[in-house]
Structure 1
Amino acid sequence: MLIHISNYITAIVCLITFFVIQRIYRKEKSKSVTSNAVEGIKWFALAIFSWGLGAFLNIILHEIFQLEQSNSIIISLGVFFSLLNSLFILLSIPSIQHNEKRNIVIRIIERFTNKEVFVIFGGVLIMIASVFLISFYTNTQSNSSNNVIWLIDIPISIVVAFALLQELNKAFKNRGMRFMVLPTLALFLLIIVAVTHRIFSEESMSNWIDNTTWNILGIVTSISFKFLFILLFTILLYSWKLLAEKEEKQTELQNTKLLQEDLILENEKLQIANESHLSTIKSLKSEILAEKKKFKELQLASKVELSDRQKEVLGNLGICGEKKSYTEIAEAMNISVDGFQTHIYQIKKVLNISGTGGKEQLIAYAKDHELLDFATIQHD
């Protein structure tokens, strides 16, 4: 009875979540954004969909065809959808943004195209089909023999869970959300318990734990890790940054700066060693002036452009930043602290501000560039 309730809950929640995330994906895709993060939304949605579809088919097989949960067809379908879910999770993990080194499994996945990854997993699914046919034609319906089918999925599930744990921790650490380490660790442990529950039958555990308790533990962990997975990825989905940088102009500007520095050093050397060669020095000065002109032109071409919202944040920071914290300013603006921090991060990125004293630099910039007029709150 409990496992049927679990299937209904999983099917309803996961399928609804899938349609919501798909709408988010289509909305971002319509903006013609080709970011890796957008593709990650798609694979994440399909991972949730595979859970929901698997639970939905389980309900149909039980309610319409009267198949028991220990039937080899239901168990084999469960393994199939679990493997499919692992595939989609693996494809979504590379879109989790952070600045640290990737997990070795993800580095391997990134070496292949999506088509090649599907072919590799296809081989595993053929193995599943083989086990299913053997189990079906030998008419073996005992729990112990059917549960052995899960041995194909368990190693993959554990590897994917460990890779997911590492990448989530790195992403949350990179966003200054170290407190999320505990939920990610809880997700990993719940997956391990759920995976362990699949391979051990009620008979094999009867000497250690009551059958009812063992079944409840498996159902609770199965539902819990799915909901926690959805929650953690939803948090990441909210914080994924879809930024469009003017990389070519910035790179050209940086190269021009380096060239200008080299010319200045060369000019100084020539002035000391060859004071008589005035014509050469004059020529070099002309080159320096030309580079300075080019530098100024590039500076104008890469002029900082801030959105109205970013100007408002800078204006409020300029007005109240010396007396109020980011949290207090965010509350006064009626936005979340995470949202305010995201604006600050993006503004620093645009203004090329890093290191200590970032807040003071932002306040000075707001005052120097007359952005206080954009402030929407007043200093008490």
Structure 2
Amino acid sequence: MTPMRVRLSPLGVAMFCLLGVGVIYHLYAGVISNRWAAFRQRSKVDLRDLLAVSVEAAVLGGTEVKRLEVGVKKVRHENALQEKSKGKTQEGDTELLTMGDLQSHRKMFNLISNTFPDVTVNSEEHDNMVDKAASWNRGIPADILDKIEGGKDVPAESVTVWIDPLDATQEYTENLVKYVTTMVCVAVDGKPVIGVIHQPFTDFTAWGFVGQGSNMRPRPSYSVSPPKAIVSRSHSGKVKSFVQDAFGNSTTIIGAGGAGYKVLSLLAMPSSEAGSMDQADVYIHVTFIKKWDICAGAALLNALGGHMTTLKGEDIDYSGTPLNKRGLVASVGVDHKALLERLPNWEPEKH
């Protein structure tokens, strides 16, 4: 009996192979996907490294801000900073954007994003220019090495970085450069943990790491009866009457630009910087403010035993949307709860 031979056509063989590949894919695709997700969830970042990169980013951004700054006459008449409007603030003022903002953003955003690709980075500015060459040189400043130990690992997905590439843009265009800062804040699960405030025009950088250390300290004493209150000069709203209702008509009210500058005014500045700084006992703000403006200051104050809360005394969540609608009061070296109890009843204005 002649044995029967089965001949498979090339098309049949191809179909059989494709079927096998499909079965294998469905069997293992879910496993591979789950393992990849688990791998990403296990991604960690060392907060000391993130502090070092934040300092480097703030300084790099500040270099761009300083490089693009020119005399006020040139800015006003030739628009050398290429300022333009981003829109209106709650008070109806023009919100400016300059080349200083954009160039600083590009340096800061790309450096942090390239170094920590799994971390969420929010910046005040938005720009599509990608600089893949921006990278951390792995250097850690000596004062950080001296005060902070490594190994402070946290899950990358719990971290949100807030960048303000140029705080006090209005004052920047007016050549009031003492108010200008660049800032980076690291929040973990919505809580401000690392704050960096850099002053480009004095090359001074303040940093704080909650529970670990800081290169700053509170002043030896503060006055709260009445205090010197520092407030916004350009987004003030009804803050002056609010402060006077709280502490009396004799309260000294200091108008200043930039949330970063206002926080530094609460602290003991090095003697080389102190001469140009205002000194305040409390920082109060009653209109809407963005989290990239205040997160770094909140972390710095928290690292020194201070507080930055809403006017109702609530902690501010530094995750999610960037807008804080509840005002703020910031202090260090005083009884923050007692300050809050003296504030008049307040409700946020409609935006």
Give the structure with higher Rg (CA).
Answer: 1
More helix by share: 1
TM over 0.5: no
The TM-score with structure 1 as length reference comes to 0.23
Greater RCO, CA 8 A, separation 6+: 2
| Larger strand percent | 2
